[in-house]
Structure 1
Amino acid sequence: MKRPSQSNWFSALLALLFALLLFFNANASNNSSVLVNTNQVYDEMLYNIPVQLEYDQDKYFVSGYEETVNVHLSSANRIQLNRESNEDTRNFQVVADLTKTSLGTSEIQLRVKGLSTAVTAEIEPKTITVTVEKKVTQSFDVQVQLPESIEAEGYTVEKTTISPKKVDITTGEETAKAIERVVAPLSNVKQSVDTIKQTVNVQALDNKGQVLSIENPAPQVRVVVELSLPSKEVGLSVAPTGSPPSGVANYTFSLSKLKAEIRGSNSVLDSIDAIEVPVDISNIRSSTKKKVKIPTSSEYIVSPEEVEVTINPIFTDSSVSYSETNGSQGSAGGYQSQQVPDSTPSSGSVSSSSSSSSSSEPVTETTTNDAPKENDTTEST
C-alpha cells in the first residue's frame, strides 16, 4: 500500500505535465497564426512618379530624359505601404545621380531614396538616357509663328507687335549652336477675330523646324497681331415673324439696303449667300418703319449691323376673306414674303427670296403676296 505522500507527489507531477502540454499547445497555435499573417504581402503600382536629377545646375544643362517613371511597391505592412503610396505622405524619391556623369549622352541607373525599410520598390524602367552639356545663356530675337489656319482661311496680316522683342535662352552649349530661330507659336483663334492677343512661351527651333530643349519654364512674350479678314457681299431678305392682326391679308416690305458685307474665314464665307432679316409683324395695322439688327454669329462680322425696314399692311375686303381669294392660305391672317430682284414680280417663300435678293438690279420694295383684284382698291395706310 502506497504512502499518502507518494500519491500526492504523483498527482502534482501529473498535473504539471498536463499544464505544460496545454501551454505549449496554445503557443504553437499562436505562432502558427502569426506565421500565416506575416505571409500576407500587399502591392501598389504607382504611375508617373517624377525623376529627381542630382547634378550641378549652375554648371550643366541636362536634357533628353524621361521625366517620370512607374514604381511597384510591396510590403507586409499595410499601413507603411499606404503611407508611401499616398502622394501627400510618401517619403521616397526616384533619383538619378549625375554628379559623376561625363558630358554627352549616357544611360543612368535609377534608384529609390528615402523609402521605408518595411517597403520594397521596383522601378519601371530601371534606367534613363540623359544628355549632359555645359550650361549657356544667349539672347535671340523672337519671331511670331502664326497658326496654319490663318493663311489657309485667307487672312492677311496687317501688323505684328511682340513684347519683348528679344529674350534670353538658357540651354546646353551644343544645343545653343543648333538654334536657327526663336519663335512665339500662336494657338488657333475664333474665325471672326480680327485681332489676336496672346501671351505664349517661346520655342527654340533648329534648321529643320524641330523644337530644341531649353530651360523650363521658357521665357514668355506678349504678341498682338492685327488681321484683315476676307469679305463678300450677300443679299438680304425679309423673314416675317409673329402673327398679323385680324383684317390684314398680307404685307409689303421695303429694305433700306438689299445687301450687306460679311467678314470671316473663307470656309465660312463660302457657306453663306444670303441673310434673312427677321421682322416682327405682330399688331402692325399701318405703315411702319423699324430698324432691325441683321443676324450674325461668332463665325463672321456683318456690316452694317442693322437695316431699316418699311412695313405696309394690305387689308382684306370686308365681304371677302383672304382664304376665299387665296385658296393656298388657310386663314385671313396668312402671308408670304418675297423680295423682287428684277422688274417682274413673282410669288415665292422667304427661303427662295434669299438667293434672288443679291441680283444686280436693286429693288427695295418687297411684297408678301399677289393681292387679288378685289383688294386693289382697298385703302393702305
Structure 2
Amino acid sequence: MDKLFQSKWFIKVISLVFAVTLYLFVTVETNTAENESRVIPGASNEVQVLDDVPLDIRIDADQYVVSGVPESVTVSLEGKTSVLTPIVRQRNFTVFVDLRDLPEGEHIVDIEYENLPDDLTAYIEPKSIDVNIEKRASREFAVDVDFVNRDNLPTGYELGVPEITPGTVTIVSSESIIDQIAMVKVFVDVTDLKESIRNREVPVSVYDIQGNILKVRVEPASVTLSVPVDRPSKTVPLNITTKGDLPEGFEIENMEVAEEIEVFGKRELLNEIDMLSTKEIDLSKIEKSGEYEVELDFPDGIIANDELINVTIDLVQTKLFEDVSIDVENEGEKTIHFIKPDKSQVNINAIGSDKALSNLAKKDISVSINIGDLDAGEHEVDVSISGPDDITFEPEPNKVIIEIE
C-alpha cells in the first residue's frame, strides 16, 4: 500500500479525479443559484415606457386659458415587476401641470405626477414645458360652409343654399388668439353627391389668415348641416344632322326621331340651349331603311338620361328601266307618228324600297297613252304608267308629242 501511495502515476490519477469532482460541484451549485433567483418574485427591476399619456392642466378655466401645453407626454416607469405590471395595465396615475398659483404671462413649469407607488420611479419626457397664461375671452363667429371637390359633383347636379344650425358658434380662448381668427368653417365633400344632405352633424374648424388651424374651444364643437341637391332640367326639341351623300340610287323618304328630350345641367347652361342635335349621321354608310342608334351632341355641362337615341330612316331606291314600249289606247283606224321622242319608247324610273324593287322586271310595268278623243294633227299627250302599288313610277319624259293622220 505504501508503495502505491508513493507511485507518481497514482498521485496524478487521484489529482485528476479530485479536479473533475470539484468542477462538477461548482457548476451544479451555480446553476442552482441562478434557477432559484429566477423564481423569486420581485427580485429584479424592470422599465416600461408608456407613450401618449394624457397631460392634465390644473388652472382656473373660468378665468384663464393657457397655450404651449402638449396633449400627451411619454412616461417611463421603473420598479419591481410585481408592482409595475398592474400600474402599466390600469394606468391609474395622473400626469399634470399645476398652474393655479401662477400669474398671467410666460412660465417654464415642471410636469408632475401623482398616484404612483413610492417604490416606482417615473421619468417624464419632456420634464418641463414653456406655457403662456392669458385671460380668458370669448367671441361669436358665423359658420361658413366649404364644399370640397366641387368639380367632382356629377354633371347636371346643383347645390342649393346650405342651412347651418346653429349659424354661429362661440370661440373661447385668449384675446390674442381670438384676434387671429379669420375663418370658422365646416367642410363637406361633394364628390359624386346626388342626394340632398339632411341634418348631418359636422365638426367646426377654426383658421387664421394663413390657413393654419387654431386650437381653441368651440361651443358647440359641431353644427347640423342640410344642403339641397337639385337636378335642373329642360325639355328641348331634337334636331337630326347629317353629312355626306347616300349611295347612288338611294333617296331619303323620311327620317323620324322623338320630338323632344329632357336634358339636365346648371340653370345658366340650360338657359342657353333651345334644341339638342344629334352627332352627324354619315349618309354614305346608310344602304337600307331601318332604325339607327345615334349619339347626341351635348354642349359642355349638359347631359340626358341617355347618350344615344334611335333614328328611323326610310330609304327609297331608284331603278331605271330603259326603252319601255308605249301602248297606244283607242288608236282605232288612226295612224300615229312619234315626234318627241321619235320612237314609241320611254325610260321609266321606278322608286321604292330595295325589297320591292328587287323583284321588279320590265314586264311588270305597263306604259300607255290614250288618243281616243284626239283628232288628226300634232298633240302633246300624258304618259300613263301602271305597276305594283308599292312602287312609284316616273317616266322620262312624262309627256310625248305625236302626230295623228
TM-score after normalising by structure 1 = 0.51
CA contact (8 A) 1:138 1:168 kept: yes
In the alignment, the residues of structure 1 paired with residue 67 and residue 257 of structure 2 have an alpha-carbon distance, to the nearest angstrom, of 67
- Identity value in percent: 24
Partner-residue secondary structure (3-state), 1:178: coil
Partner-residue secondary structure (3-state), 2:82: helix
In the alignment, the residues of structure 2 paired with residue 75 and residue 228 of structure 1 have an alpha-carbon distance, to the nearest angstrom, of 66
In the alignment, the residues of structure 2 paired with residue 99 and residue 110 of structure 1 have an alpha-carbon distance, to the nearest angstrom, of 14
CA contact (8 A) 2:160 2:227 kept: yes
In the alignment, the residues of structure 1 paired with residue 150 and residue 167 of structure 2 have an alpha-carbon distance, to the nearest angstrom, of 22
In the alignment, the residues of structure 1 paired with residue 287 and residue 107 of structure 2 have an alpha-carbon distance, to the nearest angstrom, of 83
Partner-residue secondary structure (3-state), 2:86: helix
Match of 1:51 among 33, 50, 55: 55
**Aligned pairs for 1:6-155 within 5 A:** 40-76=44-80, 78-86=81-89, 89-147=90-148, 149-151=149-151
Counterparts in 2 of 1:118 and 1:195: CA distance versus 1, 3 Å? same
- Corresponding residue of 2:296: 358
Structure showing greater radius of gyration is 2
CA contact (8 A) 1:142 1:166 kept: yes
**Aligned pairs for 1:239-318 within 5 A:** 261=263
Match of 2:286 among 342, 345, 348: 345
- Corresponding residue of 2:29: none
Residue 116 of structure 1 deviates from its aligned partner by 0.9
- Structure 1 unaligned residues grouped into runs of 5+: 1-28, 234-253, 265-339, 348-352, 367-371
Residue 108 of structure 1 deviates from its aligned partner by 2.3
Residue 205 of structure 1 deviates from its aligned partner by 2.6
Partner-residue secondary structure (3-state), 2:188: coil
Residue 256 of structure 1 deviates from its aligned partner by 6.5
Residue 145 of structure 1 deviates from its aligned partner by 2.2
Residue 61 of structure 1 deviates from its aligned partner by 1.3
Q: Deviations over 1:97-133 (max 9, x none)?
A: 1123332343321122110112211112222333322
- The structure that is strand-richer by fraction is 2
In the alignment, the residues of structure 1 paired with residue 84 and residue 168 of structure 2 have an alpha-carbon distance, to the nearest angstrom, of 51
- Corresponding residue of 1:193: 194
Partner-residue secondary structure (3-state), 1:223: strand
In the alignment, the residues of structure 1 paired with residue 103 and residue 140 of structure 2 have an alpha-carbon distance, to the nearest angstrom, of 27
Q: Which amino acid aligns with 1:357?
A: E
- Corresponding residue of 1:173: 175
Counterparts in 2 of 1:179 and 1:357: CA distance versus 1, 3 Å? closer
In the alignment, the residues of structure 1 paired with residue 180 and residue 118 of structure 2 have an alpha-carbon distance, to the nearest angstrom, of 47
Q: Deviations over 1:226-271 (max 9, x none)?
A: 34569999xxxxxxxxxxxxxxxxxxxx99799775779xxxxxxx
CA contact (8 A) 2:152 2:192 kept: no
Q: Which amino acid aligns with 1:44?
A: Q
In the alignment, the residues of structure 2 paired with residue 186 and residue 199 of structure 1 have an alpha-carbon distance, to the nearest angstrom, of 11
In the alignment, the residues of structure 2 paired with residue 83 and residue 33 of structure 1 have an alpha-carbon distance, to the nearest angstrom, of 24
Partner-residue secondary structure (3-state), 2:65: strand
Q: Deviations over 1:171-197 (max 9, x none)?
A: 2222222223422x2231341325334
Partner-residue secondary structure (3-state), 2:60: coil
CA contact (8 A) 2:233 2:262 kept: no
Residue 358 of structure 1 deviates from its aligned partner by 2.8
Counterparts in 2 of 1:121 and 1:194: CA distance versus 1, 3 Å? same
CA contact (8 A) 1:201 1:220 kept: yes
Counterparts in 2 of 1:192 and 1:81: CA distance versus 1, 3 Å? same
- Corresponding residue of 2:164: 162
CA contact (8 A) 2:197 2:227 kept: yes
Partner-residue secondary structure (3-state), 1:133: strand
Counterparts in 2 of 1:359 and 1:181: CA distance versus 1, 3 Å? closer
Q: Deviations over 1:324-357 (max 9, x none)?
A: xxxxxxxxxxxxxxxx95554379xxxxx98x53
In the alignment, the residues of structure 1 paired with residue 211 and residue 115 of structure 2 have an alpha-carbon distance, to the nearest angstrom, of 42
Q: Which amino acid aligns with 1:93?
A: T
- Structure 2 unaligned residues grouped into runs of 5+: 1-31, 236-255, 267-279, 299-307, 314-353, 360-405
Q: Which amino acid aligns with 2:286?
A: P
Higher relative contact order (CA 8 A, sep 6+): 1
CA contact (8 A) 2:47 2:79 kept: yes
Counterparts in 2 of 1:364 and 1:65: CA distance versus 1, 3 Å? same
In the alignment, the residues of structure 2 paired with residue 231 and residue 206 of structure 1 have an alpha-carbon distance, to the nearest angstrom, of 41
In the alignment, the residues of structure 2 paired with residue 157 and residue 146 of structure 1 have an alpha-carbon distance, to the nearest angstrom, of 9
